[in-house]
Structure 1
Amino acid sequence: MHYKVILRILGILLMIFSFSMLPPLAISYIYNDGADFAFIAGFFITLVTGFLIWIPVYRVRQDLRTRDGFLITVLFWAVLGFFGAFPFMITEDPHLSFVDAVFESLSGLTTTGATVITGIDYLPKSILFYRQQLQWLGGMGIIVLAVAILPMLGIGGMQLYRAEIPGPVKDSKLTPRITETAKALWYIYLSLTIVCGVGYWLAGMDVFDAVSHSFSTVAIGGFSTHDASIGYFDSLTIELICVFFMVVSTVNFGLHFFAWRQRSISHYFKDPEFKFYISTLLGITLIALIVLIVTNTYEPAESLRKATFMVVSIATTSGFATADFAHWPAMLPFLLFVATFAGGCAGSTGGGMKVIRVLLILKQGYREIQRLVHPNAIIPVKLGKKPISDRVLEAVWGFFSVYMIVFVVMLVALLATGLDQVTAWSAVGATLNNLGPGLGNVSAHYGNLNEPAKWVLCFAMLLGRLEVFTLLVLFTPIFWKR
């Protein structure tokens, strides 16, 4: 393990992150909201700490190994959550406790969207912007941004990229060089953000809300500048724009890259994961629509509007709201919540286990049924026309098994803190899948939970963002052996 180079990179990344506090500082001066000192203090604390970590080892030049990449990734997200909490603690409003500030910071950076804050409409504009910005930075992964910068500093980044990018097949690259790959991902991400923001503005949002919500929409974060979320605007046009960009942002960014390069969208409809993903969204939306109409929850037209938005929002792990789905009739709250376990596509900003894993599990399950009828047949599992190796299938099943075990362990831990069953299992699911809103006592916010429960959920958010194994591998003896 190259501890000196790990410290050098951590120091550099902290110094880079400190500059993320300057845009909200500017917002504070523009609106004169009184929160400027919180961002000045947060900026200098983060910058100086990063500098003090970096200066003793700034001359170290070593190649990163795979284990170094995992440790840097986990350390950076954990440390970032801590330093990102300073503005929430220092400012007079909301002036959060340490655990609440870390919870809010991690929720933003991991694009979970769970909040401990109430009265969001009355927060300083700079704090509102900072929350949205945290989600935007976390959406694609600050590590990927760093991969585009670190090579200029003499540090390779392939190990970081492999540890950060979601999905079961992590060695595929969009371009031959990892730096160009990271840049390509960010160009696409930035372009989607700009187009989304302009769309919101043209639909009636003011500039501040348009920019803020474009950050959290493309990041699939779910933070809003209003307690009523997207429902605050009561605009069908805004909801349709939001639905479109939530779906686009949870599609594999590799498909967006090839669409940009080839000036064609035909490959989307040839991709098995994309087709399965869209079909699933449409199927759940249809079920929700039928139930809402049959139960007379809304008028038919309103049922279509509510069902479409909330299914897409919850299934994509965004967490925006135009209705309180937790109180919808029949099995709908449970159905929508279960959909978050699939989440978005691999290589997207969505949470959950990723659609491609669910698709591969279903395909392998069907193969086992076929083997019951033809026990000696050789039946490959295919995505499209491409057979999937047994090694990938084993990895998918291993991931699914560990994901479920982690879910159960954390559920038991939350129950041990005194939470009721509905609140506990939905809180774990909402944070592990990076969704945000849950059911029971966490359907609106997480502020009423006890401190041990919040720390458990902070760990769940990190596990979900880093796809479980990246974090759990640090707790294995073999990782630390020479």
Structure 2
Amino acid sequence: MHIKLIFRVLGVLLMLFSLTLMPPVAVSLWFKDYSYPAFLLAFFITFATGLFFWLPFYNIRQDLRTRDGFVITALFWTVLGLFGALPFLFSESPNLSFTDAVFESLSGLTTTGATVITGLDQLPESILYYRQQLQWLGGIGIIVIAVAILPMLGVGGMQLYRTEAPGPNKDSKLTPRITETAKALFLIYLMLTVVCALCYWAAGMTLFDAIGHAYATVAIGGFSTHDASIGYFDSSLIMAICMVFMILSGINFALHFTSWRDRKLRQYWYDPECRFYLKVIAATTVVTVGYLIYTKTYQWQDAFWQGSFELVSILTTTGFGVTDFTIWPAFLPFFLFYTAFMGGCAGSTGGGMKVVRVLLVWKQGVREISRLIHPNAVIAIKLGNRAVSDRVVEAVWGFFAVYVISFAIMFLILLATGLDFITSFSAVGACINNLGPGLGLVAAHYGDIDGVAKWVLCFAMLLGRLEVFTLLVLFTPMFWRR
């Protein structure tokens, strides 16, 4: 492991991240909310720390290897999450503790969208902008790492697309091709954000709200500049725009790239993961809207808009809201919450276990049933016309097992802190799936739960965002042996 090189990269990351504290300063000066000293102080501390790490090793020139990639990937959110908390700590409004500041920062960067802050409509504009920007920065970080780095490391859903995605070569070092990949992905991400913001603005949002909500929509984050979230605007057009961009952002960005490059929209339907993703959205929307009409919770028009919006928002793990879905009748709140466990496609900004893994688990289940009937048959699992190796299927089952075990352990810890069953279950599920809103005491915000529970949930956010193995591998003795 190249420790000096890791410190050099970490230093560069911190110095680059410090520059992102300048736009909130400009927003503070424009709106005269007098919060800019908090951002300036955070800038100097972050830049100075980055310079401290980088300066002794600035002339190191080595290739990053697999172990280095794991460490840097984990540090990306852990360290930036800690330094991202500084403006929340230094600002007078909101007045957050260290635990709450780190929770809010990590929630933003991991695009979870769980918040400890209430009274958003009274917060300084610079703080509101900063929360939205954190999610946008975390979103592009997720895309680049998920598509360009994790496949090389052999973890993450994108390993299934290694031969087709515009990512790095399959050798053991990170190649310069990642730079080209990152540029292409960033342009697509930026283009989606700009178009989304313009659509929001044209639909009636202020420019400030349009930019902030575009950041959170394309990043599938769910932070809003208002306590009522998207419901604040009371507009079917804005809801429709939001749903379209949430669905688009939940699709593999490598697929966006190939479709844009080849100018062929049919690429989306030909991709088995994307096709399954769209079918699940359609089917679960019918169930949600139909049940709301059947139980006479809403008239058909309100049932369609509110039911479909909440379904798309939760399934894609965005977490925007237009109503309190937790008070909907019978099984519906849990039904919607369960869809977040699938989440978005691999290589998207969505959370959850990823669509491709759920699809493979389903296909593996069907294969095992077939083997009971035909024990000697050789049955291949295919995605489209391409057979999936048993090694990949084993990796998916391994991921699923570790995911469930991690969930169960954190769930028990939260119960031990005194939280009730529903709150504990949904809080862990919402954070490990990077969803945000849960059920029970965390339906609206996480400000009232115990500090220990918040740190456990911070770990759950990182675990979900780094797709479990990328983080857990750092806790194994084998990783640190020479």
TM-score range with shorter-chain normalisation? over 0.9
**TM-score, normalised via structure 1 length:** 0.95
- C-alpha contact 1:35 1:124 (8 A) present in aligned 2: yes
2:58 equivalent in structure 1? 58
Alignment of 1:66-465 (within 5 A): 66-141=66-141, 144=144, 162=153, 167-169=158-160, 171-172=162-163, 173-174=165-166, 177-465=177-465
Amino acid at match of 1:174: P
- C-alpha contact 1:162 1:170 (8 A) present in aligned 2: no
Once the two structures are TM-superposed, the CA of residue 143 in structure 1 deviates from its matched residue by 8.5
- Deviation readout 1:373-397 (Å, 9 max, x if unpaired): 1110101001111111001100100
1:151 equivalent in structure 2? none
- Deviation readout 1:360-414 (Å, 9 max, x if unpaired): 0000100111111111010100111111100110010000010000000000111
- In structure 2, what is the Cα distance between the partners aligned to 1:304 and 1:227? 23
- In structure 1, what is the Cα distance between the partners aligned to 2:155 and 2:23? 26
Q: 1:161 to 1:50 in 2, by over 3 A?
A: farther
Amino acid at match of 2:362: L
- Deviation readout 1:444-465 (Å, 9 max, x if unpaired): 0000011000000000000011
Amino acid at match of 2:162: D
Amino acid at match of 1:22: M
* Residue aligned with 1:387, SS: strand
- In structure 1, what is the Cα distance between the partners aligned to 2:405 and 2:463? 12
User: Structure 1 stretches of 5 or more lacking a match?
Assistant: 148-156
2:8 equivalent in structure 1? 8
User: Structure 2 stretches of 5 or more lacking a match?
Assistant: 169-176
* Residue aligned with 1:424, SS: helix
Q: 1:242 to 1:106 in 2, by over 3 A?
A: same
- In structure 1, what is the Cα distance between the partners aligned to 2:337 and 2:440? 12
- In structure 1, what is the Cα distance between the partners aligned to 2:261 and 2:109? 30
Q: 1:175 to 1:401 in 2, by over 3 A?
A: closer
- In structure 2, what is the Cα distance between the partners aligned to 1:65 and 1:98? 34
Amino acid at match of 1:213: H
* Residue aligned with 1:169, SS: helix
- C-alpha contact 2:151 2:158 (8 A) present in aligned 1: no
Once the two structures are TM-superposed, the CA of residue 140 in structure 1 deviates from its matched residue by 2.3
**TM-score, normalised via structure 2 length:** 0.95
* Residue aligned with 2:376, SS: coil
Q: 1:158 to 1:301 in 2, by over 3 A?
A: closer
Once the two structures are TM-superposed, the CA of residue 168 in structure 1 deviates from its matched residue by 4.4
Superposition CA RMSD, Å: 1.7
Amino acid at match of 2:166: L
- In structure 1, what is the Cα distance between the partners aligned to 2:296 and 2:150? 53
- In structure 1, what is the Cα distance between the partners aligned to 2:266 and 2:143? 31
* Residue aligned with 2:297, SS: coil
Q: 1:90 to 1:28 in 2, by over 3 A?
A: same
Q: Tell which deviates more after alignment, 57-66 or 6-15.
A: 57-66
Amino acid at match of 1:53: F
- C-alpha contact 1:319 1:436 (8 A) present in aligned 2: yes
2:172 equivalent in structure 1? none
Once the two structures are TM-superposed, the CA of residue 212 in structure 1 deviates from its matched residue by 0.4
- C-alpha contact 1:64 1:159 (8 A) present in aligned 2: no
Amino acid at match of 2:411: L
- Deviation readout 1:265-317 (Å, 9 max, x if unpaired): 01111111111111111111111112111111111111011111000000000
- C-alpha contact 2:151 2:162 (8 A) present in aligned 1: no
- In structure 1, what is the Cα distance between the partners aligned to 2:273 and 2:38? 44
2:36 equivalent in structure 1? 36
Once the two structures are TM-superposed, the CA of residue 142 in structure 1 deviates from its matched residue by 6.6
- In structure 2, what is the Cα distance between the partners aligned to 1:52 and 1:443? 41
Moved segments of 4+, more than 4 Å: 157-166
Q: Tell which deviates more after alignment, 20-29 or 171-180.
A: 171-180
